[in-house]
Amino acid sequence: MLSRRLLSVSSLSRLSSVLLLSVAVTNVSAPAFAQGATCAGPITIGLTTPTTGNLALLGIQAKNGVEFAVEEMNKAGGIAGQQINLLAEDTGASSTDALNAMNRIIEQKPLVVFGSMISPHVFTQTPNVAKAEIPFLVAATNAKVTQQNVPWLLRIHAHDGQLADLIPRYLVNDLKKKAPGIIAVADDYGLGASKGIQETLAGLNVKAVAVTSYAPSDKDMTAQLLQIKDAGADSIILFGRPADVAVVMKQMDELGITLTLIGNSSTVAQTTLANLSAQAANGAYAIGGMIPQTSTDPKVLDWASRVMARYKVPADNFTVAYYDAMQLLKQTIEKVGCDKTAIRNSLQATKDWKGMLISYVADARGDLAHTLGIYKNDGKTPKLVGTIKEPGF
Amino acid sequence: MKTKALILGLCACGIAIIPSLLGEGYLIQVLNLAILNAIVVLGLNFVTGFTGQINFGQAAFFGLGAYATGIATLAGAPWLAALFLSGLVAAIASLALGVPTLRLRSYYLAMTTIGFGEIVRLVLIHWEEVTGGTSGLRAIPPISAFGFRVESQMASYYVLVFALALAILFALRIRNSSFGRAMIATRDSEVAAELSGVNTIRVKVLALMIGAIYAGLAGCFFASTIHYISPDSFTNRQAVLLLTMLIIGGTGSIWGAVAGAIGLTMLPEAFRFLDQWYLVLYGSAVIAVISFAPGGLASAIPNVVTRLKAAR
């Protein structure tokens, strides 16, 4: 009886040993499971971005960045041995169309989706992407985008909250200007930044002598520029998209306004400079996402020339951000496999991941980019003055 | 009579089973947007189709209705109150626009309504404390009335179909009333209508107001169904699109307005597989309809039926 009981105890202990061993084996084999080997079939990646309408110049940069990376990866064997199937949809310029485009992509069950840099489009898409529980990588510039408490959303580009903080600081502390005028495009990007810039200036005990804006389709900003000049400004902070920033800079030159100009990366973007004379472009400063043309790294310059050869459009800060994001995604999938939650968690834990021009660090909100470039135009050639980091990074 | 009832019954069954065929997702949401556009275009038909006044302000009324609902429901107002408020705001705005401007004719009125649309857009952008500015309003509560919350797109579809049916019935009743005849008389000849005792200014203002209420109510449904609104959904580009829907469907035709709105909402989505070329095909389709059926789809279909009968 006793021996039988002892036997049964020993059987139990053997059974528990086997169970413990199997648990241990499962745990040991978990990393092997997470090597990406379990990604079945082609890996579907979604992308919604404006490729038609007045935002197409921006949207095409996002598409070029992702597409270029995907083409390179597919040629090299894909991700974890699987080819990548990129689904790209045009959002046009309307939030409603952006929602339709995203819904269409979600139905095709992508592993990850990229949103655009247009914040209203991302705002309207976010609830549906979050409901579908898909990692959502965006470059939307409105600071509030990552304040929605949506764990599936991560931002891969600098936002206007950072710019609104760093541009006035650089202008006041480094360029020693004390009476700036502000001119911004009256859209989600420009007005949000203008408000933030005024708040930062107030914190530096500086008041903007004039605050103006213009509609995205305006072609005559001379009244706003003269208002700033007549108000006694010693500098101008300009926030806009490449197309309208080129008009403002051209009209500043025509009016003979030689005040120090500082703006977002549109001031030094290739699409802006292509429409300006060397005199109109010369001396303008910009703080923004990193642009590849100013790099001295031969690899980066080679990449930029290959992008130019492929698309006949010079790569900009958004092309770099989306290309980097796709590379980060590749490494993530190869590390954790094709589980969406695991991908999201891994992206949220990103720390000092080296991209083409900057290192990416995920913060608690899901912002990955915290390093920006300071540029100055030498004629029509932008030069990198230095980099500037968001406080705390 | 029996055949008519049978056709109506079959149509009702078809409409009822659509959500179960499409499922919750992309297609049902596009269909919901098409129904909303149909209500807005039905409203536009009062002032442009029946009364003959060019109106580019319909998108602005749509936006005012959407923002009235967004602001009210986010502040905690009941949805039914927001629905009423949306119609009221649009009606007041139409009176503010219509009373001083509807003495103007043709191009002058068109230009005024373009200006009105731009003013509304700029107010939505710059009155940030109330409208959320260019970031818009997020997390707008869903349709909720009599203890029911309409959360899904499939459920919203049934509510919107019901709203569209009411909008069509109301439009049919008005068109066949003395006011409807006054609108059509005003469109055909303002001078003749006035000589017949029609107060054409009053008729035009009322037509604009009814159309604005349609747009305002549709705006309420839009905000409660999509849950996010921003100024870029209510631009003059959208106003042109709404007018195109009416022209393609057939100005002055209720069924044409519905067909034009649903067709032009669905068509770009159907052509998405063509990538950027879809705009070319979409534009070509619009040009083809205008060229071969200047009266819109509403005039083309009876013509085809007549020709087919004659061929027999």
**Which residue, among A219, A220, A228, A217, has the nearest Cα to A194 in the 3D structure?**
A228
- Residue A203, CA distances (Å) to A181, A200, A229, A286 in order: 16, 5, 23, 21
pLDDT at site A86 = 96
pLDDT at position B225 is 94
CB contact under 8 A, B272 and A104: yes
**What pLDDT digit, counting tens, does each position of B157-175 carry?**
999 999 999 999 999 999 9
CA of A291 vs chain B CAs: smallest distance (Å): 26
Tokens describing residue B176: 């066949």
Query: CA of B25, closest CA in chain A: separation in Å?
Result: 6
Question: Nearest CA of chain B to the CA of A7: how many Å?
Answer: 59
pLDDT of residue B106: 67
Chain B interface mutation, best of A58, A96, A102, A145, highest count of B Cβ atoms under 10 Å: A96
Strand order in the sheet with A260-263: A210-214, A180-185, A235-239, A260-263, A285-288, A371-378, A381-389
Which residue is closest to A143 within chain B, CA to CA? Answer: B135
In tens, the pLDDT along B25-57 reads 888 999 999 999 999 999 999 999 999 998 999
Q: What is the pTM of this model?
A: 0.83
Spell out, as residue ranges, where chain A has pLDDT lower than 70.
Answer: 1-38
What the block records as the tokens of B20 is 């179960």
User: Cα–Cα distance between B245 and B233 in angstroms, integer?
Assistant: 16
The beta strands (E) that lie in chain A are given as 43-49, 84-90, 112-114, 136-138, 153-155, 180-185, 210-214, 235-239, 260-263, 285-288, 353-354, 359-360, 371-378, 381-389
Task: Give the pLDDT confidence score for residue A101 in this predicted structure.
Answer: 93
Q: Tell me the pLDDT tens digit for each residue of B190-204.
A: 899 999 899 999 999
Residues B260-297: tens digit of each pLDDT:
999 999 888 888 777 777 778 778 888 888 888 877 88
**Optimal mutation site among B122, B154, B230, interface A, most CBs of chain A within 10 A:** B230
Q: Which of B232, B237, B238 sits opposite A120 (nearest CB)?
A: B232
Main-chain dihedrals φ then ψ at residue A36, nearest 5 degrees: 90, -5
Chain A hits for B136, Cβ within 8 Å? 95, 120, 123-124
Q: What is the mean pLDDT of residues B86-110?
A: 87
Contact across the interface for B228 and A123, Cβ inside 8 Å:
yes
Q: Which two tokens stand for residue A340?
A: 């969406």
How far apart, in whole angstroms, are the C-alpha atoms of residue A146 and residue A365? 6
CB contact under 8 A, A142 and B226: no
